């Protein structure tokens, strides 16, 4: 009888220990499961990144046309959120010379930004180069890049291509040099932003004067697009809150306001700027513009001993 009690006691202890062991096993397994889940998430994220690099915005576009700039238009969504984070301005130029919209009896599908032949043009976002071509009667030398955020960006009238078809590029990577090729009357960058093959006003997303985007995201809405595009042009286009006129090596920025006569108004409000060329210094610019180094330093909030860089815009009155 004593031996039977001993056996029953041992069995009871074993049975009570099983749940405890199970809980211990679960407790030990939980961190492993979390680590495996993290590993799986990282692997999944990397896989998504690879797919986006190889075929950006594949959920919007069914084709990958490498010859024609305007590939077959896919269905345009009624609303679409475009991620503008991680952007790079295509050029440091702040001077706009032509708006998006009606021009000379036809639609101008992008913005024209003043650049000089040889100026570096950069990719606006990460993406994959779809078209690299020369079109004598239109874009001249141009590049089209498709981006994971759904946009395609166009860079036209280049003097030289710096990328190839199917090349993967990162935001800020040089893709061409500014020029005056194709149907162009002066050196400039024609910049387009398209969604599903439809040209959208770049001023809805890019503020070239402030060298920035309008926000982290831009939401396209078919119902309000025309109204928003017109407002963007008023705010950030030529003839908006400020007007730029371009000259060979001199830039004029005016913020005309009030009801005074235009001649006196121009004299009162016009600010002139100089684009720095190779070999120039504050001293040489001061001599050329009939001012002093101290005045240039004061106007541009810099030291009188500051070095200037090629392409920098210097205010001189």
How many whole angstroms separate alpha carbon 173 and alpha carbon 121? 8
Tens of pLDDT, residues 141-162:
999 999 999 999 999 999 999 9
70 domain-assigned: no
Q: What is the pLDDT of residue 316?
A: 82
CATH code of the domain covering residue 215: 2.70.70.10
Distance, first Cα to last Cα, the chain = 113
The mean pLDDT of the chain is 81
| Residue 18 reports pLDDT greater than 60 | no
Average pLDDT estimate for 184-200 = 95
222 and 119 within one domain? yes
**84 close to 149: Cβ distance less than 8 angstroms:** yes
Phi/psi at 227 (nearest 5 deg)?
-65, -45
Tens of pLDDT, residues 125-143:
999 999 999 999 899 999 9
Q: What is the pLDDT of residue 104?
A: 73
68 domain-assigned: no
Q: What is the pLDDT of residue 296?
A: 87
116 domain-assigned: yes
Token pair listed for 200: 């959208």
The more confident residue out of 25 and 309 is 309
How many whole angstroms separate alpha carbon 146 and alpha carbon 178? 20
CATH code of the domain covering residue 304: 3.10.350.10
Strand, helix or coil at 195? Answer: strand
Give Cα separations from 295 to 124, 149, 307 (angstroms): 36, 45, 15
268 and 180 within one domain? no
84 and 42 within one domain? no
What pTM, to 2 d.p., does this model score?
A: 0.63
Task: Report which DSSP code applies to 202.
Answer: G
107 and 30 within one domain? no
153 and 26 within one domain? no
Q: What is the pLDDT of residue 272?
A: 76
Tens of pLDDT, residues 64-120:
999 999 866 678 899 999 999 999 999 999 999 999 998 777 889 999 999 999 999
Last residue of some domain: 241, 275, 296? 241
61 domain-assigned: no
69 domain-assigned: no
Average pLDDT estimate for 249-276 = 47
Domain, as residue range, for 139: 79-241
The more confident residue out of 82 and 49 is 82
Please report where in the chains the tokens 């235009």 appear, as a residue: 262
**292 close to 317: Cβ distance less than 8 angstroms:** no
197 and 257 within one domain? no
């Amino acid at each position: 009888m004593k031996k039977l009690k001993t056996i029953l006691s041992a069995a009871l202890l074993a049975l009570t220990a099983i749940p405890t062991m199970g809980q211990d096993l679960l407790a030990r397994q939980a961190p492993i499961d979390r680590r495996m889940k993290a590993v799986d998430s990282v692997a999944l994220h990397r896989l998504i990144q690879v797919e986006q690099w190889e075929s950006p915005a594949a959920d919007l576009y069914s084709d990958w046309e490498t010859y024609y700039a305007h590939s077959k238009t896919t269905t345009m969504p009624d609303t679409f959120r475009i991620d503008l984070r991680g952007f790079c301005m295509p050029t440091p130029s702040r001077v706009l010379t032509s708006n998006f919209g009606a021009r000379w009896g036809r639609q101008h599908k992008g913005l024209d930004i003043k650049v000089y032949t040889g100026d570096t043009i950069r990719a606006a976002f990460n993406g994959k180069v779809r078209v690299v071509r020369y079109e004598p009667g239109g874009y001249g030398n141009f590049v089209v890049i498709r981006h994971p955020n759904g946009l395609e960006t166009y860079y036209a009238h280049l003097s030289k291509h710096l990328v190839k078809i199917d090349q993967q590029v990162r935001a800020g990577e040089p893709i061409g040099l500014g020029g005056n090729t194709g149907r162009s009357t002066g050196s400039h960058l024609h910049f387009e932003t398209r969604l599903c093959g439809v040209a959208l006003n770049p001023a809805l997303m890019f503020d070239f004067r402030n060298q920035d985007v309008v926000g982290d995201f831009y939401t396209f809405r078919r119902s309000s697009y025309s109204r928003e595009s017109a407002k963007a042009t008023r705010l950030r286009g030529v003839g908006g809150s400020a007007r730029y006129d371009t000259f060979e090596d001199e830039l004029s920025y005016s913020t005309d306001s009030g009801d005074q006569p235009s001649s006196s108004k121009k004299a009162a409000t016009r600010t002139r700027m100089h684009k720095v060329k190779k070999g120039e210094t504050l001293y040489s610019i001061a001599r050329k513009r009939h001012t002093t180094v101290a005045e240039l330093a004061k106007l541009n909030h810099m030291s009188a001993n500051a070095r200037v860089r090629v392409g920098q815009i210097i205010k001189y009155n």
